[in-house]
Amino acid sequence: MMSKGTIFLTALAALVGIGTVLFVLADPEETHEVPRQQWSFQGVFGQYDRPALQRGFTVYRQVCSGCHSMSLLSYRQLAGIGFDENKIKQIAAEVQVPDGPNDQGEMFERPGKPFDRFKAPFANEQAARAANNGALPPDLSLIAKSRAGKGFVGHEGADYIYALLTGYTNPPPGVTVAENMHYNRAFTRGAHQIAMPPPLQDNSVTYEDGTPATLDQQARDVAQFLSWASEPHLEERHRYGIRAVLFLLIATGLAYAAKRKVWSAVH
């Protein structure tokens, strides 16, 4: 028989418990600015879609790389999106990179090699700002990871990139867009006003594999390429994970059996 005080306390604790659960559930998972998309690299067995990565690289090379650096990547790492050695050498050789000094003590330029980092479009931050109305185009090496939503259920960085690239619209009535700025639904960081002009149009690139280069397709492909660039070891991580969990399930099962056996004398 519980006393009145105990019943009151039980009710209070239950009420606060329910309130706490409701508070936890209020955690925002998705925003209407950045809707969730399906990507091949999600889930337990998720892997990158190689053709999409290669198309995404085409978009990066022909469009994004005009303003955005990708300083953490080297050409050799393009093996990760399925390019062979010759293709990588050929891609690297298309840029001139500074080197030296040579045995005359002079600096010189040479064609890029696979071990070179992706060549940046501007020599320094000041040059980048000067060419872009004072705005600095961010480095894209980690853009997918740095724009992901927070938490276990947060959106992927790819969702954000896709939403941003397809998010250019006319401003809603009453909103004035500042000079040299553009209205973008997904750009909540800057109150929807972004310095980057709409970078992609239908057919702004031509895909080698013949896929129609719609704006939507390009945005989807480059979002996947940039996700790969942020997390190039994702596939290996998933493979390790599956093996680790399978091993642990068996080992833990054995440990449980052993524990039962040991404890059978006590129980």
Partner 1 sequence: MSAQFKNPIVRWIDHRLPIFSYLHHEAYEYMAPRNLNYWWNFGSLALFMLAAMIFTGVGLAMQYTPNSDLAFNSVERIMRDVNNGWLLRYVHMNGASMFFIVVYVHMFRGLYYGSYKPPREFLWQLGVVILLLMMATAFMGYVLPWGQMSFWGATVITNLFSAFPWIGPKIVTMLWGGFAVDNPTLNRFYALHYLLPFAIVGVVALHYLALHRFGSNNPIGIDMKGPQDWIPFHPYYTSKDLFGLGVFLIFYSVWLFWAPVALGDPDNFIPANPLSTPQHIVPEWYFLPYYAILRSIPNKLMGVIAMFGSVLVLIILPWLDRSPVRSARFRPAFRRFFWLFVCDCVVLLLVGKYPPDASWAPFSLQILSAGEAEHASGLILPLVTIGRIATFWYFAHFFIILPLLSVFERTEPLPLSIGKPVLDHERKALAEAK
Site residues for partner 1 per CB under 8 A? 2, 5-6, 9-10, 12-13, 16-17, 19-20, 22-28, 44, 72, 77, 138, 141-142, 145-152, 154, 157, 189, 230, 232-233, 236-238, 240-242, 244-245, 248-249, 251-252, 255-256, 258-259, 262-263, 266
| Closest to 156 (Cα-Cα) out of 247, 47, 30 | 30
Q: Which is nearer to partner 1, 97 or 251 (CB)?
A: 251
- Which residues in the chain belong to E strands, given as ranges? 96-99, 108-111, 182-183, 193-194
Nearer Cβ to partner 1 (108/257): 257
Cβ neighbours of 199 (radius 10 Å): 19
User: CB of 209: closest distance to partner 1 in angstroms?
Assistant: 27
Residues 34 and 155 sit within 8 Å (Cβ to Cβ):
yes
| Least spacing, CB of residue 45 vs partner 1, in Å | 10
Nearer to partner 1, 108 or 256 (CB): 256
Tell me the HSE value of 93 on the side-chain side, using a 13 A CA sphere. 6
Which is closer to partner 1, CB of 127 or CB of 254? 254
Report the nearest approach of partner 1 to the CB of residue 146 (Å): 4
What secondary structure does DSSP assign to 79-132, as a single string? GGGT--HHHHHHHHHTSEEEE---TTS--EEEE--TTSBPPPSSSSHHHHHHHT
Dihedral class, residue 134 (left if φ above 0, else alpha if ψ from -120 to 50, else beta) = left
The three-point CA angle 67-70-74 to 5° equals: 135
Nearer to partner 1, 202 or 241 (CB): 241
Least distance in angstroms from the C-beta of 108 to partner 1: 26
Q: How far is the CB of 100 from partner 1 (least distance, A)?
A: 22
Candidates 200, 222, 202; CA nearest to 213 is 202
Q: How far is the CB of 124 from partner 1 (least distance, A)?
A: 14
d(C-alpha 51, C-alpha 249), whole Å: 35
Q: Considering beta carbons, is residue 121 or 149 the nearer one to partner 1?
A: 149
Bridge partners of residue 97, in order along the sequence: 110
Residue 228 exposed, middle or buried by CB count within 10 Å (0-12, 13-18, 19+):
buried
Contact 45, 238 (CB under 8 A): yes
- In the complex with partner 1, the residue whose CB is nearer, 24 or 107, is 24
- Taking the complex as a whole, the smallest distance from the CB of residue 11 to partner 1 amounts, in Å, to 9
